[in-house]
A and B are shown apart, each in its own frame.
Chain A
Amino acid sequence: MATDKQIFEYAPAPESRAVVDIAPSYGLFIDGEFAEAADGKVFKTVSPANEEVLSEVAQAGAADVERAVKAARKAFEKWSALPGAERAKYLFRIARIIQERSRELAVLESLDNGKPIKESRDADLPLVAAHFFYYAGWADKLGHAGLGPDPRPLGVAGQVIPWNFPLLMLAWKIAPALACGNTVVLKPAETTPLSALFFADICRQAGLPKGVVNILTGDGSTGAELVAHPDVNKVAFTGSTEVGKAIARTVAGTDKKLTLELGGKAANIVFDDAPIDQAVEGIVNGIFFNQGHVCCAGSRLLVQESVQDEVLDALKRRMATLRVGDPLDKNTDIGAINSAEQLARIKELAAAGEAEGAERWAPACELPGEGYWFAPTLFTGVTQAHRIAREEIFGPVLSVLTFRTPEEAVAKANNTPYGLSAGIWTEKGSRSLWMAGKLRAGVVWSNTFNKFDPASPFGGYKESGFGREGGRHGLEAYLNV
């Protein structure tokens, strides 16, 4: 096709790795000091783009959780008693240091996670700094938040975060917790521990009192120990719905306050009057941003029947221009799948899509020989009964369904146990707002998708979890009101 010839070839444009200095091994960050795990266990973290071992980190066990919670409890007394304005100043310092070190952290994040440097540099890191900046400002204004006259911190927060946005999820957890006067023990994901360990160094630079932030690396067993610890007052988890339910069972019958940000199967709904080019950009951004490793990804495209062909033609043309490859290359659109385990899950669900009768399509796309990769893929002819329409794939795989009327779109969009986000593409404002009112989802994007801001609350309905992160609403998760 003539259009193919207009696609420019790009020379490699790798971001320099020299800006980040990764140590061969890291301990646990407890009470302001790095220390080995009590039982000396370690595990390796690799770059998913080439399976290179980046570093060796400690595997925290029950004794380490005990020590970290104890340190956080001890620090809580003074930290919670500090005037809000002083806590604010610590958080402002952290925000500024993150801004200063953002290139280093972006490269680190792309190495450990596999996401394109374009995204870690232009999306993750600016949002991380902004999140600390935003919650810094709340620390001395809690009485103005409309949550009652005397909001009080909860105590020690046990926080477990996923691997898709390691540092951003850390910011979403730690910034509001600290602003509200809590202390934290945070466990980063097993496959992406490094940026949290670098954050420990930022706490040191900011002069943050010891024990206010503790970082425990480890696998799911570490997280389970942490959320079950009797001296933890608050549990915050972002991750899979399955683990979220297990955590909800663990904290049942305790006084622990719980917020969960879990999976999603968001509908991205395109009406026939939508601006098609913009909608296609939104669809691509919705499902291929961050390799589709996004809980609010627009993984179900609901397109009005009358424009189905037009939208799919444009979408396929656009998908053919996506560049898959080296996460550190500044022109890369889609990086590496975060782990072998995740890649296997994506492959399994894609195979199920074919087996159940949906039609699979992917652009011609050369994938690197080592590392974990999956080409951007779409399925047409998907029905609501198909696994690829029901289950969260958490990868660059789009399921396309159709509808005829707005009512049908709402029914299909809501036909899922999840309820995290949704997208609506129409030029008609009243319809967009009507749809937004009917959708059972915590975030609804209209003529845009995957927009995040620290001032804006985020979180799900139904089995996508409960509680909100971000904005004024995000304070409530960390306060006794």
Chain B
Amino acid sequence: MDLLNAFIAVLNYVIVPATAYGAQLALGALGVTLIYGILRFSNFAHGDTMAFGTALTILVTWAFQALGISFGPLPTALLALPFGILGTALFVLGTDRVVYRYYRTIRAAPIYITMVSVGVMFVMTGLTRFIIGVGEIKFDDGARFLITAREFKTLTGLAEPLAIRSTQAITLVAAGLVVWALFWFLAKTRTGKSMRAYADNEDLALLSGIDPNRVVMVTWIIAAALATIAGTLYGLDKSFKAFNYFQMLLPIFAAAIVGGLGNPLGAIAGGFVIAYSEVAVTYAWKKVAMYLIPGWEPESLLQLLSTEYKFAVSFAILIIVLLFKPTGLFKGKSV
């Protein structure tokens, strides 16, 4: 029984939240890795693209709520998501037109374009805060839980609760669908294949008659969609705060690099590696330890790092990977 309780505690406090968080990171890292692979630079504005997309989605959500439109048990934000994606896609295409395109035509070195993306990041940060403010916004509605702690306890008679929030389930389902659609697109469609060809060998792609402008455009649209979906899912699961999205840049980049930059499969694996490590390292294992070793009451919380330092985990993993396996777990490009 104690063993079961320990397992439920780990499930409730580590595995369930980390899986949802991992899926959100994976979606973010997919966008970063796609831009790195195809447009060949590290996009520092990706975190703020997520914030911008989420802010637009929230605005549309509020409009729907004011009009009395709801999505039943599902959050209204999911209905608003396509509009958020559309707005964000238009915005990043505009950014590409006025900013990135110039650096692409003069064939600037990737590091220059990366620095340019830092500038874009600051502009987007300001714009997002200007539009929606700096405060914390909760925008999830609909059913709160798939299963509540109380229901679980009465159902199983266990001492430990297990609660699964509907946003966590939605995150997983949505992330699964998005990843499936993306891989299908890249593997099966003519446009998807031409994007991979362009990422593989730009010169040969041009020789084969692949239109680089089209590849760039589709890449931006997909990156905007991934960013908006990742941001909205994260916001639904936790809450929306512009600064948090800026901070997410570190775990997202860590995820993309751990997996292997430019490799979509790696981005997903990397997202989960980072999420599980972050949550496991910052979780207080005292309760689990007490279940597993009867009669032992640890004096400390058995928490390796306090949650304020959670970003140190991504940073440490990032450095370890860069030192020992710069191409990442899957075959990616070396940074």
Is B truly associated with A?
no
Residues of A within 8 A of B (CB): none
Residues of B within 8 A of A (CB): none
